[in-house]
A = this chain, B = another copy of it.
Amino acid sequence: MRIITVSREFGSGGREVGKRLADELGFAYYDREIVTEIASKHELDESYVEETLNRGILKSIPIHFGRTFSYAPAAISNSLNLFVEQHRIIKELAKKGDCIIVGRAADIILKDYKPFNLFVYADMKAKIERCRRRASENEKLSERDLEKQIKKIDAERAQYYEFFSNTPWGDKAGYHLCVNTTDVEIKEIVPGIAEYAKKFWK
């Protein structure tokens, strides 16, 4: 089983790297698929599942825990269940065969499978530029607001990750290869990454 996990800064194009890498190597690709599966299995709204998972475990536990005790345990166990469920599904997917999993601390969750762990990052300017290109006309934000949003999302990712991991999110020590997408075309660099990854399993 060959597994590549892709961790990435928001706006760095990590998802594109993951998708193209999956095409290049003929691996399965999992990202939103994980949320969809949890949602359908538990008959929950996809956006609720995604939001809860993105918010991280600690923030998902209602802060008024002390006051509304009768309500809290269910809310807590619902939130925690989603994380447990996500773990279970990620491990199940990994067992199915060669795959690429984006985000969700899959590098930590799948540690025993010895995945190849990639981190994708870029300069803030490049990330803002990428977000701009991706956004539809009616959701254009100012540069400042975009930067704020990028930092907020990355902070959530870091918090989520560090709940499971001993090394900080984005610390190169935790990854096998760190790729800066600032000055490059993603489709151009993917063959090099694929070549590198293949040798990792040799």
A-side residues, CB < 8 A to B, are 119, 121, 123, 170, 172-173, 175-180, 182-185, 188-189, 191-200, 202
Contacts and interface: CB of A to CB of B under 8 A. Distances in A.
Contact of A199 (B173, B188, B200): B188
Given A177-B180, A178-B178, A189-B199, 15 more contacts: A170-B172, A175-B178, A176-B182, A176-B184, A177-B177, A184-B199, A184-B200, A185-B202, A188-B202, A189-B200, A191-B195, A192-B193, A192-B194, A192-B196, A195-B195
A121 B172 contact: yes
A121 B188 CA distance: 24
Nearest to A171: B172
A123 B173 contact: yes
